[in-house]
Amino acid sequence: MKFNKVLESLVNYEAGKPIELVVREHGIEAKDVIKIASNENPYGCSPKVVKAIQNEAFKMSLYPDDSMYELKEALAEKYGVESENIIIGSGSDQVIEFSLFAKANPSNKILVAKTTFAMYEIYGKRTGTTILKTPSHGHNIQELSDIYKNNKDVAVIFLCLPNNPLGECLDKDDVFGFLKEISDDTLVVIDGAYQEFASFKDKNKKIDPKELINTFANTIYLGTFSKAYGLGGMRVGYGIGDKEIIKSLHKLRSPFNITTLSLKAAIEALKDEEFIKSSIVSNFEEMVKYEEFAKKLDIEFIPSYTNFITYKVKKDSSFICEELMKRGIIIRNLKSYGLNAVRITIGTKEQNDRLFKVFEDIYRG
């Protein structure tokens, strides 16, 4: 059978290995497996969310409110924007997809950092567009700016702030300086999947969506409930942008792209800011231990503004990940990004302590 030509250049996203796989392949009991690979919240989600979902489970027989009125109102209030500035996606992943589909095509280009969230490229390729990347791994404003100036047909630029999988983050002032040089017809996607963490650690990294879209009408800010909010399994994300952009993206959204219970979960999660705050505080307390551990083992790490840390290891990263997996610990190998590095999600104290012990054995062994 012949398929669309673009399929030939597509690869699948390498998702974090599920706990079930380690159970099947290594015969370890599920309760003894720890997954610190996909930047989920190790403390779960707000207990208020769990309670609300239990109470409303019977509503799963009903289609969700397709206008997503309540969630949009809650987000609009949180960010000081209007409902018409918001689109809800099945994860912010889906809003990335919409953004590309709305602008990218075989006769133009998109611009990304060399090592950044893989979905920009994967969804980009589906449109047949050309993907331009900076020479440096992370976000380098000068390089992004130079490439942009030399390619007038750039339709979409992605800035991942802070950046997954490296953890670094540009300062807001540098981002705004860069945005001043960008034409009104280039859509700039600011992926704020880890903004809750970055803005807590350093105010200079904070991107306020309202200020962003009011200053630059060609931008869209993406947020997600999968990371700090601990709702990865519910698949809810959002885009905040100028009403004209949001209206166009809405044309690409299938009806009922979020489930009834996912909507409920997100609405409840927004009400429990205390839970988010305490997760973030614990995250950075535990992060310090990861920095100390790296220094002890003489491993170079990237200072992180997220809930994960990237180690540039000296042993083969695939070997390390395999050995950890055999012992029931799942972390993320960055080999597929062309780096001999591993990305570890900051877990709970117990998870981290176990990782340190096993990692040290493997690394020194």
Ligand X SMILES: *Cc1c(COP(=O)(O)O)cnc(C)c1O
* Cβ closest to ligand X, residue 280 vs residue 363: 280
* Cβ closest to ligand X, residue 115 vs residue 327: 115
Min dist CB 205 to ligand X, Å, is 14
* Cβ closest to ligand X, residue 36 vs residue 354: 36
Min dist CB 154 to ligand X, Å, is 20
CA distances from 321 to 196, 306, 330 (A): 28, 21, 7
Closest CA to 283 of 138, 160, 167, 118: 167
For 120-210, strand residue ranges (E) read: 130-133, 154-160, 187-191
Do 365 and 359 meet the contact criterion of CB atoms below 8 Å apart? no
Burial class (CB in 10 A: 0-12, 13-18, 19+), 324: buried
Strand, coil or helix: what is 242?
Answer: coil
Min dist CB 187 to ligand X, Å, is 16
Write out the residues near ligand X by the rule CB under 6 A. 39, 91-93, 117, 160, 164, 191, 193, 224, 226-227, 232, 237
* Cβ closest to ligand X, residue 19 vs residue 363: 19
Q: How many CB atoms lie within 10 A of CB 63?
A: 10
Find tokens 């340190």 and name the residue: 356
* Cβ closest to ligand X, residue 308 vs residue 363: 308
CB closest to ligand X, residue no: 91
Min dist CB 165 to ligand X, Å, is 8
Min dist CB 226 to ligand X, Å, is 3
